[in-house]
Structure 1
Amino acid sequence: MQNEYDAIIVGSGVNSLACAVHLGAKGWRVGVFEQAGTAGGAVKTMELTEAGFRHDWAAMNLSLFAGSGFFKAHGEDLVATGLEFVPVSHCFASVFDDGKWMGVSTGPDETRTRIAAFSDADAQAWDRLCADFPGTAEYVFALLGNSMQMHTQGKLLAKALFKKGFSWTAGLMRLLVSSPRKWLSETFESDHVRATMAAWGMHLDFAPDMAGGAVFPYLESMANQHFGMVIGKGGADTVTRALVAQIEASGGAVHCGKPVARVIRGGGKATGVELADGSIISAGKAVIANVAPGGLIKLLDGGSGDAGFDAKMTSFVHAPGTMMIHLALDGLPDWTASEELKSFAYVHVAPSLDQMARTYQQAVAGLLPDEPVLVVGQPTAVDPSRAPDGKHVLWVQVRMVPAEIRGDAAGQITQTDWTQVKEIYAERALDLIERHAPGLRGKIISRAVVSPLDLEADNPNLVGGDQIAGSHHLSQNFLFRPALGHATGKTPVDGLHLTGASVWPGAGTGAGAGYMLAQKLGGK
């Protein structure tokens, strides 16, 4: 192992690896140090249940990565080193307690026809959204794909005002600050259509009434309609393996099982890191920490020397936790609403805006929700290579749950230790799926349940099982992610930079924070 690099990156999540790839392409020797035994952070795939069944540990949807600026710049090289996507045309659906369902697909008029079955007015509203999407997407994706600096975003705003006018620009700004319920209620009249789209807010921490959450149901619905979705061939780790191979090809290295104990400083500048085993690794140009803001302060032996910055980092707010259920199956769920649901990548069990709001509030209060929102991923419906012939895997994200259990909203579970509760609570989630797909339990070959604390133990950035590395509410988004003045990853320590999902543009597999930092340090 080398003891000196141009740049040292702490953590091997997708932002770290993308940053290392771009810096390597600019001639930097980069060393990535990961405390876990496997690279990738939340983007990794493992045989968690039975041999031959490949389960995505956390992230499954790779659409943001495939559409990212980073992939446009480096995708050709990554594909050459083995990266492979599987396109998805039937993207997401929701099932409802009245036996109905709604889904978004890319086929001509498929989605519109499903919406029209609920409301002709909503089908017309969908038409208008689809017609307007290319113009809106130009600015929204530009917002998400650029650094959160006043001069950069000011130019974008000026461009919108000049080309689109004040009324259109004000409407876009209103969308960005609206809650999912507000936007959906103004746009659609069907509760089924509203709930189908609102479920995407729960992938982050945007319950229906949270300001700033409308843009995510909007973007996911429109992007999936227009472009479809992609997942990784054989597992999400196709991305991780290709990124690591590219880093190594440029002379860098990814060291797993090597936790970093602290950042070393000299003359007010970050000069390297000390590993937990006492090894000292020097950095000639930069130390980059892909850690949660609170974790950064720990790496700095308790402080950066700037009390104001330290207070902002330690007060950074994390979203409620997530529990994962990984199933090895004899067959896909038999959804009673429609056989067609077996072809969808995601099926949401999130029947109403009110139920989603209640679930979120219960989790925030420390209660196990009586009816959690479920994201049921069916990757083998589109990628059979993840399981033996005729078999399947199911990826179930249980949202939201508390990291610290104070009680059970249903009044049934008395234990408060996740090591005991996770298997019990998994039964509640399976009951909800069985309500819409009877007989699922009879198809289960094996299962692995991952509590929010298990997620944090594997990846300390997922504090309390927060899979999005920090709340995205307005007070902690845009210019305020992770704090005002630090949305580019700047820290008070010269040569030390923060990256990852806690930094603008936030969660997901788009690698925006890592790529923008690499461009800033190494050039575009």
Structure 2
Amino acid sequence: MSEFDAILVGAGHNSLACAAHLALKGWKVGVFERNATIGGAVRTQEYTLPGFRHDFGAMNLSLFAGSAFHRMYANELKSHGLEFAPVADCFASVFPDGKWFGVSTDLEKTAARIAAFSPPDADVWRKLVAAFPGEAEHLFRLLGSPMGFRALAGIGWNLWRKKGVSGALDTARLLLSSPRAWLDETFTSQHVKATLAAWGMHLDFAPDISGGAVFPYLESMANQSFGMVIGKGGADTMIRALEKMVTKAGGKIFTNADVAEIIVSGGNATGVRLTSGVTHNAAKAVIAGVAPAALPGRLLPNGSGDAGFDTAMKKFRHAPGTMMIHLALDGLADWSAGAELKNFAYVHIAPSLDQMAKTYQQAIAGMLPDEPVLVVGQPTAIDPSRAPAGKHVLWVQVRALPAEISGDAAGGIEPGPWEAVKEHYAERALDIIERYAPGLHGKILGRTIFSPLDLERENPNLVGGDQICGSHHISQNFLFRPARGFAKWNTPVERLHLTGAATWPGAGTGAASGFMLARQLAGG
């Protein structure tokens, strides 16, 4: 049995950032991870062939590069090996008519591409980019602040003071709008609209879901203004640097250490019991980086003592699932729309708002979508070190998918468990890419497929293959993430806290929930 000030359950990047800050503030910290590898959904491994390094989940580290945690600890992280690979050609979409549109950091390039579809849209784009610094100040302040009435009041006051009533209402309207509503009132080109709307699908926002407009807006404006970064050698450069920060500061990280129970005594969280039977005590805090449903009945066998909280955790809603396809390639995909597409970090295949809406609805209904949204990542176009010389990896997210299959919208695959279906459905996805990049199949040297349930087996927080650990719809965001009254990483059990993507401010690689919780506990 060991004695710690804080015990963290799970070693995702939020937990590691939290542990690092606490350890550097003098806390004795222990991190317990059920898997042999730390990092949660941010891992890089040779899933296909030796020498081909594939990001298991997250690939884009821009949020971490711009995070408050990185601003405070940039020197330490760099000394521990953190290295970014900058991206100038950020994201693009390809279309059935043979056209494409992409956003690059060169404003003139992006504006010229838009003008080819709609000159008025190019003028609108320039105005949005010019106004972005002022808008970003308020949005990033919101996303980087603890979620409480005092913080919201301060943000609202600052917004009103700088933008006036009309400007403040415009920002509020953006936060409440659906992607389609914002895109339809802002642009005329369907190609431009679809390219930006694809980012909503990354965060469970199909085109017609309220509250989703801010994500296409932020991603497109941030990529245009700042570019993007991925991890040099793999996204796990971030995890390895965080691990070294924790251990150098005296913290301990235990792998293959599955927590069976959070021990509660006198209404306080006092430690954990592992499946091995060993117990460890925590004098100040137990911090669980888990999906909410893992608490009542499992980690808290007798519940939290608050029936409302326990019910909310059990009913926490997850987003549709994702399939990951990792390919080792003899060469980059040959995009028929244009060779320039080989330079982009991401190429989306999501041709229209209507198709994205239909795909999402099919998945919600338990159907395998006939035309899934595909996010094709090309990390070796930016960072060749991830594959042997002249070779490449392709990172393919297939969105949105049901965790349990009731049918196939295309009528070609018999319903069944994912284990029996995944190879067939992966072929559907690859055939779609082949339509836009002929010859892809012939370049494949090796492949590994993770179905939605494979993802959950690898990481229980990815419930049903939900890579963002919970829907971000308005009713489960802001003051309601993960539940009303518990948006400040608190629980009804004293000294028991939550962190991770299921808590405010949600998914992404920014380590915001872990860092804000650590500062709340230890200052700094």
What range is the shorter-chain TM-score in? over 0.9
Question: 5 Å matches for 1:84-233?
Answer: 84-233=83-232
Matched residue SS, 1:299:
coil
Matches of residues 125-524 of structure 1 in structure 2 within 5 Å? 125-297=124-296, 298-524=298-524
Of stretches 29-38 and 395-404 in structure 1, the one that deviates more from structure 2 is 29-38
Aligned AA (1:396): V
Shift of 1:29: 1.4
TM-score normalised to the size of structure 1? 0.99
Once residues 302 and 198 of structure 2 are traced to their aligned partners in structure 1, the CA distance between those partners, rounded to angstroms, is: 39
Q: Distance in 2 between matches of 1:408 and 1:74?
A: 48
3-state DSSP class of the match of 2:295?
helix
Q: Amino acid of the residue matched to residue 44 of structure 1?
A: R
SS of match in other structure, 1:333: coil
Query: For each residue in 1:131-152, what CA deviation from the matched residue of structure 2 results, as whole angstroms up to 9, or x when unmatched?
Result: 1100000000000000001001
Aligned residues: 523
Tell me the SS of whatever aligns to 1:449.
strand
CA displacement, residues 386-437 of structure 1 (integer Å, 9 cap, x when unaligned): 0000000000000000000111010110041111111110000001100100
Cα distance 1:302–1:468, how it changes in 2: closer, same or farther (>3 A)? Answer: farther
User: Which whole-Å deviations, capped at 9, do the CAs of 1:113-132 have from their partners, x for residues lacking one?
Assistant: 00000001100110110111
Distance 1:84 1:130 in 2: 28
Shift of 1:262: 0.4
Contact 1:370–1:408 at 8 Å: present in 2 too?
yes
Assess if the C-alpha contact under 8 Å between 2:3 and 2:283 holds in 1.
yes
| SS, match of residue 103 in structure 1 | strand
Q: Percent identity?
A: 66
- Residues 107 and 224, structure 2, Cα contact 8 Å, conserved in 1: no
Deviations 1:282-324 (A, max 9, x none): 1111000000110122200041011111111111100000000
SS in 2 for 1:489: coil
Work out the CA distance in 2 between the residues paired with 1:76 and 1:422. 43
CA distance in 1, matches of 2:26, 2:152: 30
CA distance in 1, matches of 2:477, 2:53: 34
Encode CA deviations 1:195-222: one digit per residue, 9 max, x unaligned: 0000000011000000000000000000
Distance in 1 (alpha carbons) for counterparts of 2:295 and 2:193? 39
* Secondary structure of residue in 2 paired with 1:202: helix
**For residues 187 and 483 of structure 1, what CA distance do their matches in structure 2 show?**
33
User: Would the aligned equivalents of 2:42 and 2:57 in 1 still touch at CA under 8 Å?
Assistant: yes
Contact 2:194 2:350 in 1 (8 A): yes
Q: Is the 8 A contact 1:478 1:505 kept in 2?
A: yes
Task: Check if 1:59 corresponds to 2:75.
Answer: no
Paired residue secondary structure (1:209):
coil
Q: Which runs of 4+ in 1 moved over 2 A?
A: none
Q: Secondary structure at the match of 1:194?
A: helix
CA distance in 2, matches of 1:383, 1:278: 44
Residues in 1 aligned to 2:94 and 2:211: alpha-carbon distance in whole angstroms? 26
Whole-angstrom distance in 2 between the partners of 1:187 and 1:107: 21
Q: How far, CA to CA, are the matches of 2:162 and 2:84 in structure 1?
A: 36
Is there any run of 5+ residues in structure 2 with no aligned partner, and where?
none
Once the two structures are superposed, what CA deviation does each residue of 1:492-514 show, in whole Å capped at 9, x if it has no partner?
10110011100000000001110
Alignment check: 8 A CA contact 1:29 1:250 kept: no
2:386 partner amino acid:
R
Q: CA RMSD in A?
A: 0.7
Q: SS at the partner of 1:223?
A: helix
- Partner deviation per Cα, 1:449-475 (whole Å, 9 max, x = no partner): 001101111111110000000000000
Task: Name the CA distance, whole Å, in 1 between partners of 2:138 and 2:6.
Answer: 33
Q: Does 1:35 align with 2:34?
A: yes
Q: Which residue of 1 aligns with 2:45?
A: 46
Aligned residue for 1:500, secondary structure, equals coil
How far off is 1:37 after superposition? 1.1
Any idea what SS the aligned residue of 1:186 has? helix
Instruction: Indicate the SS of the match to 1:288.
Output: strand
**Once the two structures are superposed, what CA deviation does each residue of 1:242-300 show, in whole Å capped at 9, x if it has no partner?**
00011000111111111100001111111000001000011111000000110122200
Give the gaps of 5 or more residues in structure 1: none
- How many Å separate the matches in 1 of 2:491 and 2:291? 13
**Post-superposition CA distance 1:80-121 (Å, at most 9, x none):** 010000000000000000000000000141100000000011
Map 1:64-79 onto structure 2 (within 5 A): 64-79=63-78
Q: Give the C-alpha shift of residue 21 in structure 1.
A: 0.7
Partner SS state of residue 109, structure 1: helix
Amino acid at match of 2:51: G
Q: Output the CA distance in 1 between the equivalents of 2:128 and 2:173.
A: 15
Task: Answer with 2-11 or 341-350: which moved more.
Answer: 2-11
Q: Return the offset for 1:379.
A: 0.1
